[in-house]
Chains A and B, each alone.
Chain A
Amino acid sequence: MSDSSMTLRRLLAAIGLVTLLGCLSASDEHAEHHDPPHRPADFVAAVERLQVIQTASSTSEEIPSPHPDGDLQLEAADLLRWLPELAAESDLSREDWNQMYQSTAMIRRQAAQVSLTELSQALASVLPELDRCANSIRSQRLALQPLDASESNLLEEDNQS
């Protein structure tokens, strides 16, 4: 048998094997995004939860945590880490966002490493700024509510037509 025909046979055998492997392992599934159970709906909810955690840790009160490990400190660390993203999902002004980002920079980095008492103290120092931003978002929402109502009416009419 010549070299070229042997090479061709080997090539065809390899293609056949690869095809067979592909056919045998066919799958139609694809991945989904899953939010962690302790991820808040928005920035305001995150700040409210941080306030609860800060109050509980400063009074040594034990409260349940939805974090997969049930750890309140890890939950607080995740909430702090998500703050810039959650704030970017709102209509918070650039100035307020930058201020929030800078004032929480240190605590975001160290939240998981310090003790719960230290975290509570650090939280107490940034919560007024976070609360100010949350209030700003709340007032923006209140101002937008009448607009949202008219928009949903229009959408409903549009759907009916």
Chain B
Amino acid sequence: MIETLFWGALLRFSQAAVAAIPTIMIGILVAAIFRVWLGATGTRKLFGDSGIKSLFYAWLIGMLLPVCSLGVIPIAMELRRAKLSGGTILAFALTAPLFNPISVLYGLTLSDPVVIITFSFCSLIIVTGCGLLWDWCFRVAPQTFTSDPPIVPEGWRRLLATALFGLREMTGPSMGYILLGLLGVAALSIALPYASLQQSAEHDDPTAILFMTAIAIPAYATPMVAMVQLASMFAHGNSAGAAFVLLALGAGANMGLIGWMMRSYGLGRTVAWFGILIGVVVGLSYAVDGPLYPQGVEPAGHTHAFDGYCSPFNANTPNPMQSAWIELSKKVAPHEQVGVAMFAFAMICAIGLRLADPQRQCEAWLQTTPPAAKSLDRTIPGPVLGVISLVGLVAVSVSGCYLYYPPPHEIFEEMRAINAEVIYGSRTGRWEVAQHWIPIFDDWSRKLEVSQFLRSGEVAPYHQYKGLVFREYLERLEHAVEDQETDKAKDLAGKVSHAYTRLRESYQQ
């Protein structure tokens, strides 16, 4: 039993780490830009200094930045260094992991758009409400801002200083808090047995919201995963309020963030913040639970949305160490493998830098060395750079959406091969093959709808219902495969294949 729990926890730790690596890297990059490019003065200016304006700016910037609740830690540390108000920092730290342009787009097509817009609006209320209350409760005397250290001259020196800051962060305190957040995920998987949360978020259960509150804080979810979980909960007719708690606290908070808050603001203030936050989130959740409940959805009586928080193995799993390795190697996508390799390389460089230059002489040298004589090189003013960055961010987000959601005919090429794998695995009793491909099949069917929405501005009800039928049979097949019911799996594999053919043909009509 202990062996099963240990390897299960290690698997969940590793899965969360792999999922978090891209957004941790983005978080470190953003923190480096705040430190090296903007400096403390520029950062304060960007966030509107103080008051309700800064809370709104924190919400808006948080919505635009593609970071998760772990990746936000280095940014929050940098904002504290720039002496922004505690309310603004905590508001930013909470909102940034909830949404980003890609996840909002995904959510708009998966759930009712009203739900996503309401959830975004609720997050704004939480941010401003909690931030204002915090700043009011813990008012500080007007701060004296010391002048920034000399800015590194632009050009290659500044780029190098940015890279050096990133490397220092990788072996700095922020990485310790990130590890603490990942340990919270591992501890949660030990506390929650295999598939134990499948009936924990029923619409008619008044305690579902409170229960979700208890498990959501140590849980970790990237904005995209949170959005998929949200869609799954709505598809299964689960509690809309519990879904909101999962988004606000599951994607927004983790043990690492709590650890950093306790270290920076003390235990009392951290408890006060979470008291205010949980009060507002739970209150809003009960308020939206009824109105946002999807009409016409047949409650499935369960959900798979939280299986990823529970132990991945049951007591009968043979050789959990081997199973954990197989599971991890199967689930890590090629692009994630590239991310892990880049992170590992950066970590080696970071350790090397820390050992070779503990006194930060490189950074001092970059600051003091006079810039080289200019020829045709021109300095671009800050506002111009800002506009370019903003336009660039929007352009990259839009093109990222089109890349992430390819056109339907390309998606069907992928789905054709996956369909063959699912049918083969289910009909021949190769359960591990079927179990591996079924979630991927489901994911592509959802991407198909987002792709259609992106390119035509709507998903016709005809397409929506074809997709609904397909996913319904796919989920039933998943259950049969989990229970290793040979005859049922064969029968359902045929139905999935028919439903897939109808889905494909519906897009050709």
Interface of A with B (CB < 8 Å)?
14-15, 18-19, 21-23, 25-34, 36, 81, 84-85, 87-89, 91, 93-94, 97-98, 101
Contacts and interface: CB of A to CB of B under 8 A. Distances in A.
Nearest to B1: A23
Contact of A101 (B5, B187, B315, B462): B462
B70 to A, nearest CB: 20
Contact of B475 (A33, A91, A94): A33
A41 B393 CA distance: 50
Contacts of B296: 81
Contacts of A34: 301
A2 B371 CA distance: 50
A81 B237 CA distance: 15
Nearest to A95: B509
Contacts of B502: 88-89, 91
A15 B468 CA distance: 42
Given A31-B198, A88-B469, A26 B315 contact: yes
B193 A22 contact: yes
Contacts of B191: 18, 21-22
B199 interface: yes
Contact of A22 (B192, B469, B472): B192
B5 A19 contact: yes
Interface residues of B, number: 37
Contact of B195 (A19, A29, A33, A93): A29
Contact of B196 (A14, A25, A32, A91): A25
Interface string B447-477: 0000000000000011001101100100110
A84 B461 contact: yes
12 contacts: A15-B187, A18-B187, A26-B315, A27-B195, A28-B314, A30-B482, A31-B301, A89-B499, A93-B509, A94-B462, A97-B465, A101-B461
A97 B463 CA distance: 11
Identify the interface centre among B296, B316, B465: most chain A CB within 10 Å of its CB: B465
B462 A31 contact: no
Contact of B465 (A18, A21, A84, A93): A84
Among all A-B residue pairs, the 10 with the closest Cβ atoms: A31-B302, A88-B465, A30-B195, A28-B314, A31-B198, A94-B509, A26-B193, A18-B191, A22-B190, A88-B469
Interface in B1-19: 1-2, 5
Contacts of A87: 465
A112 to B, nearest CB: 11
B468 A88 contact: yes
Contacts of A25: 193, 196
A19 B316 CA distance: 17
A98 B302 contact: no
Interface string B462-497: 100110110010011001001000000000000000
Contact of B311 (A22, A93, A94): A22
Nearest to B302: A31
